[in-house]
Amino acid sequence: MRKKLVAGNWKMHGNLLDNDTLLNALNKDIAVLGNEANCAVCVPYPYLATVQSKLQGTNIKWGAQNVSQHEKGAYTGEVSAVMLNDFNCTYVIVGHSERRMLYGESNQVVAEKYLTAQKHKLVPILCVGETLEQRDSDTTEQIIEEQVNAVLALAGVDSLSNAVIAYEPVWAIGTGKTATPQQAQDIHHFIRQGIAKQNAEVAAGVTVLYGGSVKANNAAELFAMPDIDGGLIGGASLIADDFIAICKAAHS
């Protein structure tokens, strides 16, 4: 039985004051939900220290939104996995479509980031997903297969025992357009089947999240699908009531 996970992706939002208010609300309402599902927030680097001190000892985990594929060195502006360890991060997002599209991260670079994260005991949340153009030209499955296979080629299928995959159709991110539960389920099933060709046990155990305009009013029906194990939440993770409601949907 896979445990559901709801992970917030704050992106480049927040400030010390607003974060404090948001985290106080999450602490109060998520603490009482128990441990039937996992909840986490992936926050901008400068806030990791305060997030760590607010969330340690609670049932909310935390992480970052990106990591360098390199261990250390002359990489101005980058942050290493070892640095994330200093703040006891559990998760790190790799290959978010905004990183792939705005910062030119290739499948190979994403795979290297995934590998480096795991080497340092971080759980990578590997984002995959197609653009609208790719969906319209019927290449969704091919694109996702290439994105997943790049990671499997470098890190091996067993690595998925300590990783999370997030299926995030690019056309649904921040647009208010959500994939229907069936559309999402079909791709989640496709991802799991692809992994099963290499290792059925790993495929059955891997957490596959859906991301793309998940809100308080659509989370429950998405999470009810058999291959959807929770969500990666952008906009709604910044609104305490909405994020709490989504976490509750994962617990029911």
Contact characters 133-172, ligand PEP, x per CB under 6 A: -----------------------------------x----
Is 117 in contact with 91 (CB distance < 8 Å)? no
**124 touching ligand PEP, by CB under 6 A:** no
Per the CB < 8 A criterion, the answer to whether 81 and 67 are in contact is: yes
Distance CA 135, CA 176 (A): 17
The rounded distance, in Å, linking the Cα atoms of 121 and 99 is 22
With binding defined as CB under 6 A, does residue 212 bind ligand PEP? yes
Residue 235 in the binding site for ligand PEP (CB under 6 A): yes
Pairing assessment for the beta strands 38-42 and 207-211 based on DSSP bridges: unpaired
Among 214, 219, 222, 246, the residue binding ligand PEP under the rule CB under 6 A is 214
Nearer to ligand PEP, 14 or 235 (CB): 235
8 in contact with ligand PEP (CB under 6 A) = no
**Residue 230 or 235 with smaller CB distance to ligand PEP:** 235
Can 96 be counted among the known catalytic residues?
Answer: yes
Q: Does 179 bind ligand PEP (CB under 6 A)?
A: no
Cβ atoms of 55 and 61 within 8 Å: the answer is: yes
Residue with tokens 């994105």: 147
Active site residues: 96, 168
